[in-house]
Amino acid sequence: MRQLVLLLYFLTTLNLSVFAGDSLKNTKPNILVIFTDDQVYRAIAYNNPAVKTPHLDKLAREGLILNNVYVASPICTASRAAMMSGVYPQQNGVVALNHKAFKKYYAGAERAEQSLPRQMKKAGYHCAFWGKSHIGPPKSYGFDEGEETKGHDDVETFKRANSFLQKAAKSSKPFFLWLAPRQPHLPLYPQQKWLDLYNENELKLDANYLEEPLPSSVFNQGKPGENFHRDSNYTKVWKKLPGGPPRNEATMRSFIKAYYAVISHLDSQVGQMIENMEQLGIKDNTVIVFLSDNGYHLGNHGLGNKITMHEESVRVPMFINWSQLTSKGKRSDALVSSLDLYPSLLDLAGVPLPNHLMGKSLLPIFKDEKANVRQVVFSECVGVGAKVGEGHRMARNKKWKYILTGTDEQFLYNQSKDPYELSNQTGKPEQLPILNELKRSMSKWMEQIGDRKFPHAIK
């Protein structure tokens, strides 16, 4: 009889441990980050009905849309390194396209444990990466599996991701998948079926479109003091784009058509992946985050590419889709930095946040779309080949944006009244209080990240 009692006790505790394990698993959702390349904030249907992205639009509208998201640096390598390190370019050493600095500090070196995937592994996640890394082999900075995939159509990227999800669905361990498509980065190779979705004659150009940029440092995409503009050597990125600037209206409409077409292809690929996740039964317990590494000018201000501190360059689309969100079907106007994703993911994983992080957890906004986690958002960027301490800077609050250029010129834009950033307000006496407020914010931030001394007097 005593043996029978002991056996029953053993079976009962075993069963409880199994349920405890299931319960523990349910407290840690899977996490999927879809991180596109060069997608401007208006190149998605919920911000611009001209863009055909039905699958992304559905995911966004069923989740939480973040309206005011700014990247730490609007250039590919620096933006990605900032996301994976949790700090600004001048803090991690990766400015412009200098990927070697990331390898030096974060691939098994002195700051290795500060990388996002290594922190997620500590939280109990199996970490995988497929797509464009741009900062070295993903396994070198902490991912358990994955690699940089080739091909501008992202077919291989999504194939590998879907294969991973098939395996992950059978595992008791939560997964963290960073999916980094190359689309819509140049060169553009849209298939005809996606081009057929758009009539270029119906595509509208924005109020700040110009054939070529004005001669001002705020538009410079090169080293400080240059008057250099990116994309001028891209003669084959799209068969109807002869390079430029200058680019006339017909040229830009043709380019925008191709740009939107590859985004529609990307949307279809995401839709197929989400359908796969639903069939596998893993979507409901997966936090899906969508954003881009930086924006793209598309002829606004006479520019292509990114690198400047204008909205088209530094602002990106972002949304969260998760069955457990409190604020589903809502939009948030809160200011968000791309650096806020790192602490948000760790917060979702239920682990303490490292002290080195420069971002803020977005969980308060996930619970209440009217919440705010920051009053000012910052960004920095230098042209290709430039150095730490050089380039453009931005400080933006809900209404105003202050820009300090690489040659220390100042620009102040009223974002609520002048969303296309056409009227510099720095010389207006009535704007002196807000100008000094943002200058103070930028000065403190520059000191915090180890930047050069703020160059102007603050009254």
The pLDDT tens digits of the residues spanning 119-131 come to: 999 999 999 999 9
List phi, psi (to 5°) of 55. -75, -45
Q: Is residue 143 scored above 70 in pLDDT?
A: yes
The total of other beta-carbon atoms located within 10 Å of residue 285's CB is: 16
Residue 109 has pLDDT above 90, yes or no: no
What integer is the mean pLDDT of 14-41?
66
Which tens digits make up the pLDDT trace of 202-215?
999 999 999 999 99
**pLDDT computed for residue 2 by the predictor:** 42
Domains and CATH numbers, the chain: 29-372 (3.40.720.10)
pLDDT digits (tens, 9 = 90+) for 266-325: 999 999 999 999 999 999 999 999 999 999 999 999 999 999 999 999 999 999 999 999
Q: Is the pTM of this model over 0.75?
A: yes
Helix, strand, or coil here: 33? strand
Tokens standing for residue 156: 């291989």
Close Cβ partners of 319 (under 8 Å, ≥ 6 residues apart): 46, 59, 60, 63, 64, 65, 66, 289, 290
Percent pLDDT > 90 in the chain is 81
Contacts of 126 (CB under 8 A, 6+ apart): 144, 145, 168, 171, 173, 174, 175, 176
Helix (H, G, I), strand (E, B) or coil at 262: helix
Pick the residue with more confidence: 19 or 407? Answer: 407
Q: What is the pLDDT of residue 243?
A: 57
Radius of gyration of the chain (CA): 23
C-alpha span between 62 and 56 (Å, rounded): 10
Q: Is 277 exposed, middle or buried (0-12, 13-18, 19+ CB in 10 A)?
A: buried
Q: Which of 202, 372, 344 is nearest to 287 (CA)?
A: 344
Taking 80 as the threshold, does the pLDDT of residue 235 lie above it?
no
Mean pLDDT estimate for the chain: 91
Provide the pLDDT for residue 33.
98
Q: What is the pLDDT of residues 176-210, one digit of tens each?
A: 999 999 999 998 989 999 999 999 999 999 999 99
Tens of pLDDT, residue by residue over 427-444, are 999 999 999 999 999 999
Asked whether 96 and 386 are in contact (CB, 8 A), the reply is yes
At 237, is the pLDDT very low, low, confident or very high (cuts 50, 70, 90)?
very low
Instruction: State the pLDDT at residue 430.
Output: 97
Where is 398: in which H helix or E strand?
none
Spatial contact of 320 and 91, defined as CB atoms under 8 Å apart: no
